[in-house]
């Protein structure tokens, strides 16, 4: 007979920047809710992805990549990542098959051991590494630490991803679900819209500018067939503002149209995006501005 007792638990996806945590979250959900880019430090706050399968509700937490912070924003990102691991039933450490343990990964593993939280190792990006790289990575990590399971996978192609559920299930606790079974995230729609717009800025702009950008949704009007969004993009310098706008507004137009494509796919209705660019110097180091921009110390 099928077991109908509800089980649930929080599972944190943790690791260095750029290893592919957000890509994996999107693949697990089959929907794009988290921003992904080639540039490290894409994710700024923890993002919840919910998946209900039979009697199990898995609540994944995508976290900012662990790095040594150099700004107040960086500090808040690290707080967000570490807070996310506080009440989880399982941590999934995401690494690339580089056959070596990075000092940050060492630090993380020591922390998890102290906390006594079980850890599963996810060796990501198997689609672009050789089987030898993967075997050597499994070897190096399993000799150094004891993992509840080691899963080689590709968040990009989806190869091996299903195994996550099988390995995580024993760690879920018998408890009523927190969310209804059709929910995939508890992120407000505005936050998803801001993240997708920021992702396009990260993709389309070069070098350091994207890290100095923040997106705030000023207005989000929803009707049956249309969502009307007005967003403000904050940058740190007037010269950056020029670049973000582009010649005759070309860059902004591109950002808006790429974001619209993704958001229409996500919301299933037409989306209108109005973008405005503003300069706020040093916002990454101003606690007050970070608060205005939605980074709350208590939340993260």
Ligand X SMILES: Nc1nc2c(ncn2[C@@H]2O[C@H](COP(=O)(O)OP(=O)(O)OP(=O)(O)O)[C@@H](O)[C@H]2O)c(=O)[nH]1
**How would you class 169 by CB atoms within 10 Å of its CB: exposed for 0-12, middle for 13-18, buried for 19 or more?**
middle
Which stretch in 13-21, 131-139, 202-210, 255-263 sits in contact with Mg ion by CB under 5 A? 13-21
Number of residues engaging Mg ion in binding (CB under 5 A) = 4
Task: Spell out, one character per residue from 51 to 70, where the chain touches ligand X: x when CB under 6 A holds, - when not.
Answer: -------------xx-----
Task: Spell out, one character per residue from 8 to 47, where the chain touches ligand X: x when CB under 6 A holds, - when not.
Answer: ---------xxxxxxx------------xxx-xxxx----
Q: Provide CB contacts within 8 A for 114, sequence distance 6+.
A: none
Q: What are phi and psi of 185, to 5 degrees?
A: -160, 160
Rank residues 127 and 261 by Cβ distance to ligand X and give the closer one. Answer: 127
Rank residues 172 and 209 by Cβ distance to ligand X and give the closer one. Answer: 209
* Pairing assessment for the beta strands 47-53 and 214-222 based on DSSP bridges: unpaired
Decide: 37 and 203 in contact? Cβ < 8 Å: yes
Q: Least distance (Å) from ligand X to the CB of residue 209?
A: 16
What is the token pair recorded at 168? Answer: 């995580």
Alpha-carbon distance of 93 to 108, in angstroms, equals: 9
Which residue, 52, 67, 56, 87, is CA-closest to 21? 67
Decide: 278 and 232 in contact? Cβ < 8 Å: yes
Applying CB under 5 A, does 43 fall inside the site for Mg ion? Answer: yes
Applying CB under 6 A, does 74 fall inside the site for ligand X? Answer: no
Among Mg ion, ligand X, none, what does residue 247 contact (CB within 5–8 Å per kind)?
none
Among 8, 27, 37, 42, binds Mg ion (CB under 5 A): 42
Which residue, 77, 75, 73, 76, is CA-closest to 64? 77
Look-up: residue for tokens 């993704």?
262
Which residue, 90, 41, 43, is CA-closest to 33? 43
Applying CB under 5 A, does 46 fall inside the site for Mg ion? Answer: no
Which stretch in 16-24, 108-116, 269-277, 289-297 sits in contact with Mg ion by CB under 5 A? 16-24
Rank residues 7 and 44 by Cβ distance to ligand X and give the closer one. Answer: 44
> Given the rule CB under 6 A, which residues bind ligand X?
17-23, 36-38, 40-43, 64-65, 124-125, 127-128, 154-156
> Given the rule CB under 5 A, which residues bind Mg ion?
21-22, 42-43
């Amino acid at each position: 007979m099928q077991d109908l007792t509800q089980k649930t638990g929080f599972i944190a996806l943790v690791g260095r920047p750029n290893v592919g945590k957000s890509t994996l979250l999107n693949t697990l959900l089959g929907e794009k809710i988290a921003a992904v880019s080639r540039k490290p430090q894409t994710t700024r706050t923890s993002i919840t992805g919910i998946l209900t399968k039979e009697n199990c509700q898995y609540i994944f937490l995508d976290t900012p990549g662990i790095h040594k912070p150099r700004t107040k924003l960086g500090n808040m990102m690290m707080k967000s990542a570490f807070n996310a691991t506080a009440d989880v039933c399982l941590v999934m450490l995401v690494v690339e098959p580089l056959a070596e343990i990075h000092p940050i990964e060492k630090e993380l593993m020591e922390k998890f051991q102290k906390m006594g939280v079980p850890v599963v190792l996810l060796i990501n990006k198997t689609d672009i590494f050789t089987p030898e790289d993967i075997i050597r990575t499994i070897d190096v990590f399993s000799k150094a630490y004891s993992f509840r399971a080691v899963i080689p996978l590709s968040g990009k192609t989806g190869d091996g991803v299903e195994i996550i559920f099988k390995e995580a299930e024993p760690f879920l606790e018998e408890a009523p679900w927190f969310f209804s079974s059709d929910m995939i995230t508890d992120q407000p729609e505005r936050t998803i819209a801001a993240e997708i717009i920021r992702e396009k800025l990260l993709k389309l702009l070069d070098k350091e500018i994207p890290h100095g950008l923040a997106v705030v949704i000023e207005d989000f009007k929803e009707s049956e067939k249309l969502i009307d969004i007005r967003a403000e993009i904050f940058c740190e310098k007037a010269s950056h503002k020029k670049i973000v706008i582009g010649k005759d507004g070309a860059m902004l137009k591109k950002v808006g149209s790429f974001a619209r494509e993704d958001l229409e796919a996500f919301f299933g209705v037409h989306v209108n995006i109005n973008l405005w660019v503003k300069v706020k110097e040093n916002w990454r180091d101003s606690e007050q501005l970070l608060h205005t921009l939605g980074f709350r110390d208590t939340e993260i």
